[in-house]
Every structure is written in structure tokens, then in C-alpha cells.
Structure 1
Amino acid sequence: MTALVINVRLHDGRYHGEGDWPPSPARLFQALVAGVGLGGPLANADTAALKWLEKQKPPLIAAPLARQAQGGVLFYVPNNDGDAIGGGPLKVAKIRTAKVFRPYFFDPAVPFVYVWTLSEQQSDNDCAPNDDDEAHARRICALAERLYQLGRGIDMAWAWGEIISKEELEDYLSTYPGRIYRPSTGGSSTTLPSPCLGSFESLKRRHEDFGKRFKYIHDGKDWKVTFQQPPRPHFQPIPYNSPLSRQLYELRAPTPEASFAPWPLTRVVDLVTKLRDGAVERLKTALQGKEADIRRALVGRKPDGTNDISPEHRVRIIPLPSIGHFYADRQIRRVVVEVPPTCPLRADDVHWAFSGLDVVNAVLTPSGAGEFLRHYGFGDDGRYRVWRTVTPAALPGNAWRRRIEPTRKLDEAKGGNERAAEQMQAATAVCQALRHAGVRAPVESIRVQREPFESAGSRVEPFAEGTRFAKERLWHVEITFDAPVKGPLLLGDGRFCGLGLMAPVRDMVRGVQVFCNYHWPD
């Protein structure tokens, strides 16, 4: 099996294209056509190669790690309306338009990579591509050398192509310092336009009609100008999936027996803090000059407490209490570390930093016991309607309970109306927390309380000791969704500190009372 690989480098390490990240296969296809079209009409061999490329399956994409500017860059661009100012260049300010660009920034030394496998067009006798495919692929490699931009006109670029074996491709991708995006058959948050049958002809037709968009019609003594928008190019939307990297660890004692070293459930925030800070120090030593990216990826907050990165780009440390059995003590013996595909750090670097990390009387050890994850709804088949918190959620907004001075419990006791109002505010905050966590499924019912839903659990107050989360904002939550929801599910402002971890309730049957008239036989 061989593969056609197109490598593209942008000169300035900036990408100004809007609506897609990484740059879509459609953009690359248009850039190839534009590059070869600079020399005039396309040769028959070039046309045949481009039509061959549009028939291939969507390519795999590898893109460098990038961050998008928070604020936009303002550009003033003159309109194509010089006649309105009489053609005077000194008056161009009157027809300019303000545009705001939010470019992506990345390392210009890391290329964008587009990979088409050629095994689907193989001959009947062997697994090598046939002669026509080989010729078309090599022609595409030649066309890649004429590419001069990718994205907007200010995104100057150059490219080169090569045909490599499957083994060479796997070795290259395994060490690629970026993210891999693969075409997906299911739903995905990333959908990119890709060439399909008829894409080349649509670009050719658009180019021809672009020169005819203005027409002058004689109307008596006057001339009228009409404008016709050129047709849009034809591409197909393809979902791309760049799955997160997940590693399960176990807390093991530093002894020859290496038995489990359980961590108390109510000290979950302390555990996450120790693991996070230990990984940060390891990465700072190993990755010199990347301290800012390390803090953004693992800490996520600036010294003043404000967010330094979007939550979906942060590394997530999830302690997993022991559940799944009536006698499970709910102490923490396992930890999952998830690295999203858009994290500014490489996943293998992050997992290396956590592997073997020393905690108090415990060592974080990689584990292959993935079957335990099903207790928390991990996996494609883990979808459930009813979810309950194992660790309480630190709810956002005004979900705080009124604090009562311990010495005045009787004098300041809450009435039923006040308790109901607090629970209603907490339920509203749960809906807000679901939006923050990216859960869009409709909710059927919500229950909130301070007590755990299971006998082996713990009330919310001990979880707040020694943390930045006040006990008045901690709640145990049960949510029933209208449709099954996939795990893992973490809610609230403390979801990056181990709080708000939920577990699905399997085979839950609501209490039903049945009354009937029944006569025992005589």
C-alpha cells in the first residue's frame, strides 16, 4: 500500500482563512488549481490528474498545534468600486471596508500534511497502485511545487509532494508534532469541505463566469451595468474526527507488592492539584521555553484567576472513585488523564509527565484495566438517561445556600419556602453547567441535595475543606435526560479539579405503586 502525501508550509506561521481549521482539503485543491493556472490554460495531463484527485476518498490531515487570536486584527481594504470616486487614488479612503481577521498562530517549521491512500485504486493482481494512478499521483506532486498560497492571499505558502509506503507513513505520523484528523463516518464537531466529482469543473466554470460578472446594457442614451454573482464551487462536507488521547492510571504503593494505595474521596481536589503541579514541574524541566503553553494546558488560569485558555483545549485529570458494587468504599484508586486534540501540548509528552508521578505514599502507574471505565459511561456504547454525582458539583451562578452560623442553627433555621427556592436556583445552575460542559441533550428532571445518593458516598461539606470552593455552592445532583447521554460527564466550575464527576444509573426503575382488587382463593 502506498500513499500520496502533500506537505504545505506557510511562510509566516499564520493562517487567516475563516470557517475551517485545519485548512480544508477543498482549500488545498483550489490552491493547486490556482498555482497551475498561473501559466495559462491547463495541460491535458494536469486536468486529468486533478480530476483523478477529486475522485479519491477524503484525505487524512495532519496540522500543527495552533492557537487563535482572542482579539481580531483590523484591516482596511479598498472596494472594487473605483468608478464611484472617479478613479482618483487619493480618494480611495472613501470606498474602503473594515475587515476583522482572527488568524491562527503556529510553528511555521511544522508543515500541514494531506494524505491520500492509493490502495483503493489497486490493480487486480497485486496491492501496488496501477500505472494510471501512479502517473496521476506523480503529476499531483509536480503540481504541488507550483502552489504559492493557502487560505487567503496573504497566507503565502509553498508545497511539495511525495509517494511513500504505508510503513514510512506510519513512522512519520507517529512522530508528527501536531494533531491528526481522520475522515469520520459519524458525527463530528469538525466538518471540512473536500473535493468530490465535479469540483474541478465547478472551479473552471466559476473562473470563466468571474470575468463575465459585469454586463453593460444599452438603454436608450444610457448604459446600465448589471452584476451576476459567479456560481460557488462544488465540494462535499466531510466530518473529521481527531479523538482525544486518554490514559488510565492506578495509584500503587511504592512497595515490592505494588498494591493499591487508595486516596480518600473527600480529598479529590487535593489529589488533582498534586498530580497537576507535579506534571507541570516535569514538563517545565523537559520542555524548555514552553512554560506558557504548559500552564495554559494544565492549569488553565492566569494568576488573577481568569481563564487563560478555552476549557475544551485543557488537559483533564479525572480521579475515579471505586464504584460498581454495594460494598465499594468509593476511595480513589484510578485516575484518567485526557488530552484533547486541540491541546497546545503533545499527548505523549503529557502522558509521560504523569506516568510514574509520585504522590503521597503512592505512584501513578499506567493501567490497562480499561473495563473499569464502563462504570462512568466511557466508550461509544456508554449512553444512559439517568446520571448522579459521585463527587459534588460546584455549581455556577447564584446556586449558593444561605450559610447558617453553627451556634445559631435553631434561631436561623430555614423554612420550607427558602429551601425550595435554594433548590430551584441550584437546578437552574445545573442547566447552566450543562451548557458549559457542552451537553445539549434536553433535561427531563433535576434533583439537588447535600446528601449523597448512595450509602457509601459523602455529604458535600467535607469536599470543600482546604479548597477554593465554598461548601455552600456544592451540591449532589441527579439528572434525567430525555435521551441517552454519553459519558464521561463532569459538571460545574470544579470539573477540572475532580468535582462534579457523575456516574450513570443502570436499570433504574422509578417507584410505582399498584392497587388492584385481588381475592385469594378459598
Structure 2
Amino acid sequence: MLAVEMTLLGGRYRASSFDDRRKAEWPPEPARLFYAAVNVVYQSSEPDDAEVEVLRWWETLGAPEIACSEALLRSVVDHYVPGNFASSWTNDIQPLWREVERHQRSLMEAQSSGSPSDAAKAQKALDKVIAKVRTATERYTRPTGKESLQVMDRVAEVLPHRRGKQPRTFPTAVPDDPNVYFIWRSADPTAQQRSTLDAILGRIGRVGHSASTVSCRITDDPPDPVWVPTSSPACERQLRTTDTGLLEALLEEYERHHGYLEHVLPARLTGYVRAGKPSTVPTRQNEIGDWIILRFKSRQQLPISRTLDVARAVRAALISHAPDPVPPLISGHIQGSAEQLRAPHMSVLCLPNVTHAYSDGYIQAAAICLPDDLSPDDRTTVLDALDRWSAHAGGDRYRLTLPGGLSRDLELGVLDADSGALPIRAPVASRQFWARRARTWSSVTPVALDRHPRIGRNPDLDELSAAVAPIISRMCERVGLPVPESVTASPVSVWSAVPPVAFGSRRGFPQYCVGGRRGDRRFTTHVTIEFPEDVRGPLIIGAGRFFGYGLLLPTPGSTRTASEL
């Protein structure tokens, strides 16, 4: 057995939930402890080989049991704090700093391409713009003795109490007991591994936010667990944990972003339940089975408004590489007919990065969704079509061609059921990320209604919601979901990174058309749905659900806290 004791020195734990930055995380995720250990080991330019080997052993241990007390999750409110830069500084040379960031990205891309000449050109361009920054800094900061009162007032903004204030949040959990234990029952470390790991743990100063100072050590007498991992769909928490290959994925991701680019720490999502507490299985859709994840290669992502184009292109690629005649499972049509298949068949979803305030709204991966209880022969048919698609593109990628001739490269992720076996590069590119449980759900891609609501030309939100609610209720019933308690419809999503429904404009999501761009148009709208009980995702509804429309996520703040369970 291996058990790690983590003591919160300040008596509180400050960390945001990975899927909702306004929600405090509790219990602490096991992956955070691993991230902290990797950080202290690789602070040295030449990390100790023995410590690296211990990290590689640690990542294979999987999800631990967790022993911790209940915690009070503080209400999250906006705190207005001074910004890092005064307006007198940022207004003058902020464009130059953005140019520095752009050239830094170009340099990293050139270095990763392996071309010395391109790297040298990029380094020269970066040095040139940095020289401009130095010149501009000297020009704007050198006093002349003739400054006006207005200029002197702006210069005084460099003092913290004179700077403009920006809203920030500090999600915090205050536990009854500051000690948290991570327990791997089946682990059998050698004396050397225990000694090396204990030395690494002793150097960890914080987990989560920098204000969450901790002290960590190996212990031989942990208490009984409170949270235990489970592969059951009746999980109460989704926590990030480790898996084989996580250390390598972290190093590769750092080589890509170097702290300059937006990034998400790799992890595996694992379901947890309270020890000894029977859990009720929340309602789930009865037609959604495993997903096959195809990730977009770095810097080839597309905006979420291209969802229909991506989904239809993936389906077209599979049809072109499927056996003849094309199986109804892939085509969605009765064989030898244009009539749509009513039985569950393959669908394609686009998985976007939209859940954070600073999300870019770009599609990270496409998911080929297979029906539940799929026969082995049908599964083999889909996998064979994938193999032929990959072989046609050279064997190491999936070349996707979109309308207008635009092409993108995809790479295979993991055949991702609830017990997926490989670490993921970003949580959003995983079925488990979308398979959470909540009562209130909001659309990430708009829902295409199967009939037009009876509304006027310019309805207000109340009129729109009243007209859409009965249609949404019938669609939920048809896919095995309970009748909603309330439905709110709007052309705008609750997720800030999600564009609105276009309604004739070229911006935002286009309306869904049955049979392609010139087919029968369906009314599309964003929705927020509240169910009378917990519903477990993935949640996809509407006429466009086989092409990525109607994908929903738990509304921010709707997932249950520890004190409510």
C-alpha cells in the first residue's frame, strides 16, 4: 500500500474546478498532486533520473482512494483588485507586447519544425521587436520636466492603489480537517521508491492556487477512504487522475506552449462515489454508446460555428471508405433508399473548448458516436472504414476535406467509453467530460427543432421559450429523458465563447437543413433545460443530433456540491 498525506497549512484549499472556474474544487484532484510533483522535479535543468523514474511509476498507479473531511465551499463573488499594468503603460506599448507574443509563437513553431534556417529567421524577427519595446519603454518613461498635470496623473497609476481594478474570483474550500489522504491499496513500492517519492513530496510547497500552501509526506496509517473510484455510470464526481503516459504528455504539451500559449493540462477523468454509499443511477439517453475520438492536430482547430461542416465531412469520409453498399449504421439511411433510418445509428459530434471565461470556442476534436449495444460486426465495420481512411492519408492521420477545399488533419484519440484506458490531452476531447450529471443543462451547439414553433416575426424571450418548451419536451421523451420542468430558449448561449444562432446572418451558427445546405430548414435555438431529477450525459437532442447540433453541458453552477450530496 502507498498513502500520501497532504496537510493544508492555511486550513483551506483554493482551486477552481477544471470545468467551472467559478466553482471550488473538493475533494482535491489526485492529478494536481502529480502536477505539483512534476513541477518540483523539473525545476532543475537536469532532473534526477531516479526521481523521473519514480514519477513514471507513480503515473501507472491509477486512481487512488481519497480520505478527507467535509468542506464548506465559499460562495464565489467578484473581487475587484488592481491590474498588473497601469493604463499609462499598456495604452502606449501594448501593441508591441502583442507583437512580441506573436513572434515568440512563430519561434516555437520554427523550432518544433526542425528547420535551423526558419528558427534563425524567427529569432532575428523576435530580437528586432524586443529592441523596439526597449526603445519605446525608454522613450515613454524618461522624464522631461515639462509634463502636464494630466501626464503626471497617468504616471502615478503605476502605484497599485491608483491602478484600475479588474474582477477576479477566488473559489475556496474550507475543510473541517486540513489533512487529505490519497491511498493506493494495490501499490507495492520498493524501499528506494518510497524514499525517493518522500523526498519529492517534501519539496512540494503548494497544490492548486499559489495560496494553497501544503506539506506532503508518505504515511503508513491513513484513515478509511471517503471517496473511491468507480467505473459505474452512477458516479458522483469526475476527478482528474493519472494514467500511463501522463508525464510524457505533460512534457510534450509544455514544449508546445512554453507558458505563452493557451493550454489545458493532460489528465484522465475518473468517476468517484462516496465509500459505502449506494448511488442511484441518473437518467441517461438510451441510444448513446462509445465514442471514437479524432483530435485536430495542433493549430488546425476550427471555430465551433463550423460544426455542421466538420460533422458532415467526417461522415462523408467514412461513407467513402465504407464497404459497398454503405451500411445503414454509417449512412443513416435504409439500404437502397433515401428514407432516413429510424433506428439508432452513427452520429458525429464536434467537441469545443467553451467552458472557461477565456475559452477560444474552437473545436478540439470530432467524436464518432456509436449506438449503445452495438454488435461486434457493426463495430468492426466502422473501425475498418477508419483504417481505410487513415491508410488513404498515409497511415498516421485522417485527412478531412471541408466545403471550399479547406483541409485539416485529425489524429486518433481513444475509443472512449466511460472506462477509457488512455490519458487525454484535453478533458474536453473526452466522452467523460460530457458525461457528467446535473439537473440543468445548456446548449453548446443550438438545438434544431423537429417542427417550427408558432411565434411571430420578432418574439421576445418569454414568447420564444413558451413556444419552444413543448417541442423540446417531446424530443426529450423520445430519446429516453424525463419531461423537463422548464425550458428557456434564446438565440444566445449561456457560454460566452459560443456564438449565437445566425438567423439569416453569416455570423454564428447556420440553421440546420435536413439533407444538406439546400434542404428543409429547421428552426434552431439555444436552450437551457431543467429536469426534475439528475440526468447523466452525454446529452444530445434535436433534429440535428446526428450532425453535432443539440449538444448540451451542465449549466454553470448546476452540478451538486459536496454539502448537497
Same fold (TM over 0.5): no
Could you tell me the TM-score, scaled by structure 2's length? 0.39
Higher relative contact order (CA 8 A, sep 6+): 2
Between structure 1 and structure 2, the one with the greater Rg is 1
Could you tell me the TM-score, scaled by structure 1's length? 0.42
